[in-house]
């Protein structure tokens, strides 16, 4: 545990753990940065006092009910009170409250997008504010390469103990699926004809976060388009044989759902342009593709070869066990606690 020795009264004994404040918009119960903030809160709380703050007035009522998230209110003195301030996928430009609260000991900005304008708005603070320079945390080497900025790379923490290899069920058809939010840019238009081909060939298709596709895909007895959150990630992924993932204009700087699928021992078939690609070795612990035709061939090979699915799925699980091992998590948590 990290302590503030300045408050030990000269008796040589530690007294107070450093306070860590985590800021997020908390607008989406299924958003990557929202889930990352909550998992970081769970992990850090074992070693320090941690508080959650909603950086948006449009925070999700569901999240506010489920977790001890506070709204910033200088009028009622509900504000961060010094220590370490960590902004995850959020920024505070044009806000008054930073001028009305104690100066942080450290300022950390966890940046999970490819929009440098947002990063600049947060890290270039007015001199009159007097806050320390922001330390930058990035979510993948992929993101770091594209942005060409300095920062510490920390994969988004995942509680992999929640996920386990799927239970075999020979009574149902070969099933391909994906999991995501249902927002703009999450689905690629070229996936529509691919899905139609898969269905025509007898493959079952389950898409959680796919209700926006109802106008593009004809109803089919082996097609399920589910709203986000209908099933927990670990429950939904247990029903698949292969996890497929490609997005539209939205670029995944990490791709939390891909690693959750790998934690379930699923072979993942993903477009090569994304943060997850740093950890996928094609043909060994997953598959990467450039074109729809390549994706179709990979899915056909996996459908025809259960042994291949099992071998790749086993390597996928081993990959996330190494990426999120206790030693790796400890090293990343120590960054925030120091």
- Residues 74, 53 contacting (CB under 8 angstroms): no
Tell whether 138 and 257 lie within a shared domain: no
pLDDT in tens, 47-63: 999 999 998 889 999 99
Q: Is 32 part of any domain?
A: yes
Position 326 pLDDT exceeds 90: yes
Tell whether 63 and 145 lie within a shared domain: yes
- Among candidate residues 154, 185, 211, the one where a domain is terminated: 154
Which structural domain, as residue segments, surrounds residue 79? Answer: 3-154
User: Which residues have C-beta within 8 Å of that of residue 172, sequence separation ≥ 6?
Assistant: 204
Tell whether 135 and 34 lie within a shared domain: yes
Q: Is 274 part of any domain?
A: yes
Tell whether 143 and 257 lie within a shared domain: no
- Count: domains in the chain: 2
- Among candidate residues 130, 154, 178, the one where a domain is terminated: 154
Q: Is 338 part of any domain?
A: no
pLDDT over 90 for what percent of the chain? 73
Tell whether 122 and 168 lie within a shared domain: no
Q: Is 333 part of any domain?
A: no
CATH number at residue 241: 3.40.50.2000
Token output for 51: 């508080």
Length of the chain: 338
Q: Is 121 part of any domain?
A: yes
Tell whether 135 and 249 lie within a shared domain: no
Q: Is 328 part of any domain?
A: no
Q: Is 256 part of any domain?
A: yes
Tell whether 52 and 128 lie within a shared domain: yes
Kindly indicate the confidence band of residue 169, based on its pLDDT and cuts at 50, 70 and 90. low
- Give the pLDDT of residue 67: 97
pLDDT in tens, 287-310: 999 999 999 999 999 999 999 999
CATH number at residue 8: 3.40.50
Token output for 145: 């390469």
- Among candidate residues 154, 177, 201, the one where a domain is terminated: 154
- Give the pLDDT of residue 308: 97
**Rounded distance, CA 107 to CA 315, Å?**
38
Tell whether 134 and 169 lie within a shared domain: no
Tell whether 75 and 19 lie within a shared domain: yes
Of 213, 205, 214, the residue nearest 186 (C-alpha): 213
Tell whether 149 and 165 lie within a shared domain: no
Q: Is 330 part of any domain?
A: no
**Rounded distance, CA 168 to CA 93, Å?**
51
Token output for 130: 């007097």
Residue pointed to by tokens 């506010």 = 64
Tell whether 126 and 188 lie within a shared domain: no
pLDDT in tens, 189-247: 999 999 999 999 999 999 999 999 999 999 999 999 999 999 999 999 999 999 999 99
Tell whether 209 and 109 lie within a shared domain: no
């Amino acid at each position: 545990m990290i302590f503030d020795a300045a408050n030990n009264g000269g008796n040589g004994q530690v007294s107070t753990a450093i306070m860590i404040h985590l800021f997020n918009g908390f607008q989406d119960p299924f958003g990557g940065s929202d889930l990352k903030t909550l998992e970081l809160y769970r992990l850090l709380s074992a070693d320090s006092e941690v508080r959650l703050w909603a950086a948006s007035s449009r925070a999700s009522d569901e999240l506010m009910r489920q977790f001890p998230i506070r709204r910033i209110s200088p009028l009622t003195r509900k504000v961060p009170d010094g220590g370490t301030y960590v902004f995850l996928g959020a920024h505070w430009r044009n806000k008054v409250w930073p001028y009305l609260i104690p100066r942080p000991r450290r300022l950390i900005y966890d940046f999970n997008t490819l929009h440098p304008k947002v990063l600049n708005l947060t890290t270039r603070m007015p001199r009159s504010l007097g806050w320390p320079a922001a330390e930058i945390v990035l979510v993948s080497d992929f993101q770091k390469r594209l942005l060409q900025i300095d920062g510490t790379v920390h994969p988004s923490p995942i509680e992999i103990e929640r996920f386990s290899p799927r239970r075999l069920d020979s009574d149902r058809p070969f099933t391909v699926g994906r999991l995501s939010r249902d927002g703009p840019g999450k689905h690629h238009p070229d996936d529509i004809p691919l899905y139609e081909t898969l269905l025509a060939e007898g493959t079952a298709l389950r898409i959680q976060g796919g209700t926006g596709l109802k106008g593009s895909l004809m109803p089919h007895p082996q097609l399920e388009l589910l709203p986000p959150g209908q099933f927990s990630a670990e429950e939904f992924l247990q029903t698949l044989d292969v996890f497929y993932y490609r997005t539209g204009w939205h670029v995944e700087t990490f791709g939390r759902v891909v690693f959750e699928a790998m934690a379930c021992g699923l072979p993942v078939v993903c477009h090569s342009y994304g943060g997850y690609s740093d950890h996928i070795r094609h043909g060994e612990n997953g598959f990467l593709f450039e074109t729809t035709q390549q994706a179709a061939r990979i899915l056909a090979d996996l459908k025809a070869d259960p042994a291949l699915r099992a071998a790749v799925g086993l390597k996928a699980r081993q990959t996330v066990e190494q990426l999120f091992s206790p030693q790796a998590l400890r090293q990343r948590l120590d960054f925030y606690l120091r």
